[in-house]
């Protein structure tokens, strides 16, 4: 029996943080190790260019950083095809064909792209590539005929747009070669973890992230800066658990333990200082992050091997993509020279 393909990816615009880890990477490793899937994980450099076209060095540097993060959390190139988007030439071709099956009005309605345009303050200068990246993302997913796409909640509109494009394509060219994918979304509470400053979103641009590559001292320093309860000043003051980032992280990294329940009770009652509470969180984070960090450092000793791994993954991914593209060209009827020498 052929296994279901899952495909997902990340834009290489920096190192990955613990928000990526709990929201996505952890689950990818579980899906990988279940043996039920044929997993594809893509470093989406082409997509990173849609808003970083003038900073190719950042993208190039981030490529190996993201690959190291993947290996560090347990993605295994023997089980998961780890590859680089720009190396799959069929993606550019499929994107071009898709571009004619979607309207500008439809693209304008994509709520995630709308929000990103606001955030990035493009004003009147939205790069056309950025505006249309959901189309290229549809190509990413469908060229591999992926059934499952594990992504954050903000990617739901991309999956919907992909499904529409599959229907339009199959309909326009009287075929059924393309497959409608389904999103696989994070468990409640894990999709978006707050930054250390209490901002609703951990992100590189907000400077409030804990990275998988951070050393132990950096993690501890970040926890010490963490937003708690501004009204909890003296140790004996009653404090709030709700909205307190330390407790939010404890609920994620040490879920449903008696220790955390006790800490919550004591904090609410009064008598638990922020420092003591934070020391506990530092221990909890360390037990999860230390092995990841150590594996990351070991892999970082041999960058040429990382590049080789990405090349091998890209070669394999290209074979799968080319097989789909052959059928795509035939379905559209642009296989003019088939059979000719």
Query: Which residue ranges make up the site for ligand TRP (CB under 6 A)?
Result: 7-11, 44, 47, 137, 140-141, 149, 151, 155
Q: Which is nearer to ligand TRP, 71 or 149 (CB)?
A: 149
**Beta bridge partners of residue 6, listed in sequence order:** 39, 148
Q: How far is the CB of 80 from ligand TRP (least distance, A)?
A: 14
Closest CA to 195 of 263, 260, 151, 246: 246
Q: How far is the CB of 166 from ligand TRP (least distance, A)?
A: 14
Q: How far is the CB of 320 from ligand TRP (least distance, A)?
A: 14
What's the token pair of residue 139? 């190509």
**Beta bridge partners of residue 84, listed in sequence order:** 43
Residues 6+ apart with CB under 8 A from 135: 95, 98, 99, 102, 107, 161, 165
DSSP 8-state secondary structure symbol assigned to residue 153: G
Q: Which is nearer to ligand TRP, 38 or 140 (CB)?
A: 140
DSSP H or E run through 296: helix 274-299
**C-alpha atoms less than 13 angstroms from C-alpha of 60 in its C-beta half-sphere:** 5
- What 3 state SS string does 128-150 have? HHHHCHHHHHHHHHHHCCCCEEE
Q: Which is nearer to ligand TRP, 137 or 208 (CB)?
A: 137
Q: Which is nearer to ligand TRP, 83 or 249 (CB)?
A: 83
Q: Which is nearer to ligand TRP, 279 or 316 (CB)?
A: 316
Q: How far is the CB of 231 from ligand TRP (least distance, A)?
A: 36
Q: How far is the CB of 151 from ligand TRP (least distance, A)?
A: 5
């Amino acid at each position: 029996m052929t296994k279901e393909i899952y495909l997902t990816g990340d834009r290489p615009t920096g190192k990955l943080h613990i928000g990526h880890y709990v929201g996505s990477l952890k689950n990818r490793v579980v899906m990988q190790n279940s043996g039920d899937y044929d997993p594809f994980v893509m470093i989406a450099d082409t997509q990173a260019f849609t808003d970083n076209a003038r900073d190719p060095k950042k993208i190039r540097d981030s490529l190996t950083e993201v690959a190291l993060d993947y290996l560090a959390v347990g993605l295994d190139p023997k089980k998961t095809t780890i590859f680089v988007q720009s190396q799959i030439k069929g993606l550019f071709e499929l994107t071009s064909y898709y571009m004619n099956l979607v309207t500008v009005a439809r693209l304008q309605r994509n709520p995630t792209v709308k929000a990103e345009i606001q955030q990035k303050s493009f004003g009147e200068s939205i790069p056309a590539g950025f505006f249309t990246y959901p189309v290229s993302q549809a190509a990413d997913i469908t060229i591999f005929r992926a059934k499952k796409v594990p992504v954050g909640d903000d990617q739901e509109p991309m999956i919907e747009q992909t499904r529409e494009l599959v229907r339009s394509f199959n309909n326009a060219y009287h075929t059924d070669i393309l497959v409608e994918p389904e999103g696989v979304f994070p468990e409640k509470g894990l999709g978006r973890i707050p930054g250390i400053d209490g901002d609703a979103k951990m992100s590189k641009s907000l400077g409030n992230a804990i990275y998988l590559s951070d050393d132990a001292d950096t993690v501890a320093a970040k926890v010490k800066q963490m937003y708690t309860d501004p009204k909890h000043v003296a140790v004996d003051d009653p404090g709030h658990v709700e909205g307190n980032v330390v407790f939010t992280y404890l609920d994620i990294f040490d879920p449903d333990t008696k220790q955390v329940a006790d800490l919550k009770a004591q904090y609410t009652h009064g008598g638990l200082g922020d420092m003591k509470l934070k020391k506990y969180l530092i221990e909890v984070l360390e037990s999860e992050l230390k092995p990841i960090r150590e594996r990351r450092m070991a892999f970082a000793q041999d960058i040429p091997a990382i590049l080789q791994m990405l090349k091998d993954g890209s070669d394999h991914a290209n074979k799968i993509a080319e097989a789909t593209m052959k059928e795509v060209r035939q379905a559209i009827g642009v296989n003019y020279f088939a059979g000719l020498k």
